[in-house]
């Protein structure tokens, strides 16, 4: 029987980078190895660079933290990052050892070659004292901490440039606010930076664009004022970016926007499907590149999400015509890079573990590492909504009576679909049927499907989820109505709390990195200061809105909860802070509801997807232990409390 420990055998691919000639791909493979002793194992990730070409696939490095390979324009050298703090290294592909070329006090990130290959630009916090806050931490900006980064000082990462020939490193630009993304101008004039123009923009993660020349001189600012996912400037002065304009944040689907003749226009919005991969999976350890790529003067390759699938599309920016480059209705491209000569991407499905593909040929065999985990394919289930047909899936193995688990994704503006979910496959192998869907608010079905959820958390979304679950139970008689559970993380944790405070139909619940109190969330989450205004049109600092936010809070209705609940939370989660789990635990415990609170130190909001492997395994064991207590799986299991 498959165990959570099957995670230890997996080989996670990431960051596929196609070579300039399009015939090779450099990428990262991350495995799990034991850095401890026989008496005290310590399972940790180990990342190494690999190269695929016409002769096969081979390892390039043998370190433990090698990542972010980047091709020189002539294809002879790879720049990559190694160590903690990460430092820039250069590896000659004709032979020889990798050379460390930076030695800065802060980590190096986002290294990019100049078009002529003479420079490497990167971001680093070098120059600031990273231990200056040992005695006291002082915040004067609204955005003073961020999930995955922790405390943010007022000194942002600077833009640095390495002279490849002399190995000289100099600071090019010290921005007053964080650089959200940057890219070289293809004609070599300098760097295009996306960074906030003021503190209000910075607090919302918004940016404008500015060019900085190689002598460090900032040029004219191009106003954008929205989020920036990736920049792709053209040599002729046009700017393409993947992002969301305006004040609504990620309530608006991301699209491709082109700046030309002094104005912005969305060049893909007529398709009404978001740009980028927004389908969630839990087998993505490492970077998943998604920067749009110019293939010629008018054609751009980019990722596009359609329902539960994602692939690479090609866009003619003149006509807006879109054709498929790599797209399958039941698969996901999690990351890609492309140029006029070739394409490298990560391919997966709900039953196929992620693999690296170079120009249509799979160059990895990661599925061979699944061990005793035999993935099964899900069955699609449809349900009705006010906007038409909704979709979801049931993942199960075997035909005997099985407990049915309703799993709810986070976001809420993400999607479940055809990405590989190790967690779901483990549950299925242990005799559980996992039912997962995309209720209103999910992406991939058009902006109206997202907008219909605005301001209505706990209403139309709850109706869609229950309609889907009822459809699953009706279609598959082997799902046991007397053994049902509900679970979810982030927004899915909110919905788990909400549903158990509104109905007793579920026999067990697992709420992961949840939201329970919408009022306190606004002041404690890293995105809290603007999140409710974007999502609900409400503000916890406005007296007239407080009652509505409290009415929407599961905590207000905690007295109705009877469902045994497992609470999972990471102590360094700044997105859904641990105080949200603490409040839910206290409320349920005080009312005599069976509850267990499991906290993970040293982990943040990404625990279930890229957290430390031993902690991910412990988390799954906690799930299975709780489920077995109240809805045991197996033909001989008797329901508890049914």
Given this model, what pLDDT does residue 399 score? Answer: 81
Q: Are 313 and 322 in contact (CB under 8 A)?
A: yes
pLDDT digits (tens, 9 = 90+) for 536-583: 999 999 999 999 999 999 999 999 999 999 999 999 999 999 999 999
Kindly report the pTM of this predicted structure: 0.96
| Mean of all residue pLDDT scores within the chain | 94
Q: Kindly report the backbone phi and psi dihedral angles of residue 541, in degrees, each rounded to the nearest multiple of 5, phi listed first.
A: -95, 10
- Mean pLDDT value across residues 194-207: 91
Q: Is the pLDDT of residue 215 over 90?
A: yes
d(CA 146, CA 152): 7
Given this model, what pLDDT does residue 345 score? Answer: 98
Given this model, what pLDDT does residue 637 score? Answer: 57
Nearest in space to 2 (alpha carbons), one of 608, 433, 424, 450: 424
As a whole-number percent, the residues of the chain with pLDDT over 90 amount to 89
pLDDT digits (tens, 9 = 90+) for 102-111: 999 999 999 9
Given this model, what pLDDT does residue 635 score? Answer: 43
Q: Is the pLDDT of residue 193 over 50?
A: yes
Chain centre distance of CA 121? 25
- Confidence tier at 135 by pLDDT (50, 70, 90): confident
d(CA 108, CA 341): 29
Q: Is the pLDDT of residue 636 over 60?
A: no
- Confidence tier at 147 by pLDDT (50, 70, 90): confident
* Residue carrying the six token digits 């087998």: 283
Which residues does the annotation mark as catalytic? 490, 605
Given this model, what pLDDT does residue 640 score? Answer: 38
Q: Which helix (H) or strand (E) holds 424?
A: helix 422-429
pLDDT digits (tens, 9 = 90+) for 473-505: 999 999 999 999 999 999 999 999 999 999 999
- Mean pLDDT value across residues 141-169: 87
Q: Are 570 and 604 in contact (CB under 8 A)?
A: yes
Given this model, what pLDDT does residue 133 score? Answer: 54
Q: Are 190 and 211 in contact (CB under 8 A)?
A: yes
Q: Is the pLDDT of residue 400 over 90?
A: no
Q: What is the largest CA-CA distance in the chain?
A: 74
- Mean pLDDT value across residues 455-461: 97
Burial per residue of 379-404, b for 16 or more beta-carbon CB atoms within 10 angstroms, e otherwise: eebebebeeeebbbbbbbbeeebbbb
Q: Is the pLDDT of residue 514 over 60?
A: yes
Give the number of residues written for the chain.
642
pLDDT digits (tens, 9 = 90+) for 571-613: 999 999 999 999 999 999 999 999 999 999 999 999 999 999 9
Given this model, what pLDDT does residue 134 score? Answer: 67
Q: Is the pLDDT of residue 639 over 70?
A: no
pLDDT digits (tens, 9 = 90+) for 7-16: 999 999 999 9
Q: Is 448 exposed, middle or buried (0-12, 13-18, 19+ CB in 10 A)?
A: exposed
- Which of 13 and 269 is assigned the larger pLDDT? 13
d(CA 45, CA 311): 28
Given this model, what pLDDT does residue 641 score? Answer: 33
Q: Is the pLDDT of residue 123 over 70?
A: yes
Q: What are the residues facing 79 on neighbouring strands?
A: 70, 90
Concatenating the DSSP letter of every residue in 145-212 gives: EETTTEE--SSPPEEEEEETTT--EEEEE--SS-EEEEEE-TTSS-EEEEE-SSHHHHHHT-EEEEEE
Concatenating the DSSP letter of every residue in 374-416 gives: -----EEEEEEETTEEEEEEEE--SSS-EEEEEEE-STTT-B-
d(CA 250, CA 244): 7
Q: Kindly report the backbone phi and psi dihedral angles of residue 421, in degrees, each rounded to the nearest multiple of 5, phi listed first.
A: -120, 100
- Confidence tier at 286 by pLDDT (50, 70, 90): very high
- Mean pLDDT value across residues 446-467: 97
Q: Is the pLDDT of residue 127 over 60?
A: no
Q: Of 249-258, 304-313, 325-334, which range is least confident?
A: 249-258
Q: What six digits make up the tokens of 260?
A: 């030309």
- Mean pLDDT value across residues 507-517: 98
Q: What six digits make up the tokens of 522?
A: 């606004």
d(CA 409, CA 282): 12
Q: Is the pLDDT of residue 616 over 80?
A: yes
Q: Of 11-15, 142-146, 439-443, 463-467, which range is least confident?
A: 142-146
């Amino acid at each position: 029987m498959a165990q959570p420990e099957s995670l230890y055998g997996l080989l996670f691919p990431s960051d596929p980078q196609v070579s300039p000639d399009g015939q090779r791909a450099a990428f990262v493979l991350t495995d799990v190895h034991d850095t401890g002793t026989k008496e005290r194992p310590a399972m940790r990730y180990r990342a190494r660079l690999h190269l695929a070409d016409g002769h096969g696939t081979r390892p390039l490095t043998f370190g433990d933290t090698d990542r972010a390979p980047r091709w020189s324009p002539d294809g002879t050298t790879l720049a990559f990052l190694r160590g903690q703090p990460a430092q820039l290294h250069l590896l000659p592909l004709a032979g020889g050892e990798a050379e460390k070329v930076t030695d800065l006090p802060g980590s190096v990130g986002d290294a990019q070659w100049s078009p002529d290959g003479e420079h490497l630009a990167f971001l680093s916090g070098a120059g600031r004292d990273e231990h200056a806050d040992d005695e006291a931490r002082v915040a004067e900006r609204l955005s003073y901490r961020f999930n995955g980064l922790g405390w943010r000082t007022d000194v942002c990462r600077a833009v640095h440039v390495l002279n490849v020939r002399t190995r000289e490193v100099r600071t090019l630009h010290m921005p007053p606010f964080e650089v959200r993304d940057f890219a070289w101008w293809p004609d070599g004039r300098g760097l295009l930076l996306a960074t906030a123009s003021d503190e209000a923009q910075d607090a919302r993660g918004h940016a404008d664009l500015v060019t900085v020349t190689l002598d460090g001189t900032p040029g004219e600012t191009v106003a954008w004022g929205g989020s920036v996912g990736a920049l792709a400037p053209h040599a002729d002065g046009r700017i393409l970016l993947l992002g969301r304009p305006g004040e609504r944040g990620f309530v608006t689907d991301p699209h491709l926007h082109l700046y030309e003749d002094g104005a912005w226009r969305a060049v893909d919005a007529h398709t009404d499907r978001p740009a980028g991969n927004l389908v969630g999976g839990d087998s993505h350890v490492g970077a998943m590149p998604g920067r749009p790529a110019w293939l010629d003067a008018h054609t751009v390759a980019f990722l596009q999400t359609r329902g539960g699938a994602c692939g690479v599309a090609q866009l003619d920016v003149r006509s807006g015509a879109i054709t498929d480059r790599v797209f399958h209705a039941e698969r996901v491209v999690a990351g890609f890079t492309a140029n006029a000569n070739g394409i490298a991407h990560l391919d997966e499905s709900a039953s196929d573990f992620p693999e690296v593909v170079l120009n249509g040929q799979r160059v990895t065999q990661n599925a061979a590492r699944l061990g005793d985990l035999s993935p099964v394919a899900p069955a699609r289930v449809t349900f009705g909504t006010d906007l038409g047909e909704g979709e979801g899936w049931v993942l199960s193995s075997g035909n005997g009576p099985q407990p049915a688990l309703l799993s709810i994704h986070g976001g809420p503006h993400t999607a479940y679909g055809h990405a590989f979910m190790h967690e779901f496959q483990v549950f299925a192998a242990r005799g559980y049927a996992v039912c997962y869907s995309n209720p209103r608010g999910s992406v991939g079905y058009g902006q109206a499907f997202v907008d219909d959820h605005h301001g209505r958390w706990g209403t139309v979304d709850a109706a869609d989820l229950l309609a889907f679950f009822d459809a699953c139970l009706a279609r598959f008689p082997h799902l046991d109505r007397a053994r049902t559970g509900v679970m979810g993380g982030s927004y899915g944790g909110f919905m788990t709390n909400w549903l158990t405070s509104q109905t007793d139909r579920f026999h067990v619940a697992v709420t992961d990195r949840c939201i329970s109190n919408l009022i306190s969330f606004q002041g404690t989450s890293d995105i809290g200061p603007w999140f409710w205004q974007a999502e609900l049109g409400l503000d916890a600092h406005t007296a007239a809105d407080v009652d509505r936010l409290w009415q929407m809070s599961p905590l207000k209705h905690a007295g109705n909860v009877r469902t045994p609940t497992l609470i999972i939370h990471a102590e360094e989660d700044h997105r859904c802070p641990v105080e949200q789990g603490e409040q839910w635990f206290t409320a349920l415990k005080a009312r005599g509801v069976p509850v267990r609170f499991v906290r993970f130190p040293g982990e943040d909001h990404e625990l279930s997807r890229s957290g430390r492997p031993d902690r991910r395994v412990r988390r799954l064991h906690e799930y299975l232990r709780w489920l077995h207590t109240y809805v045991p799986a197996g033909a001989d299991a008797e329901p508890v409390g049914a």
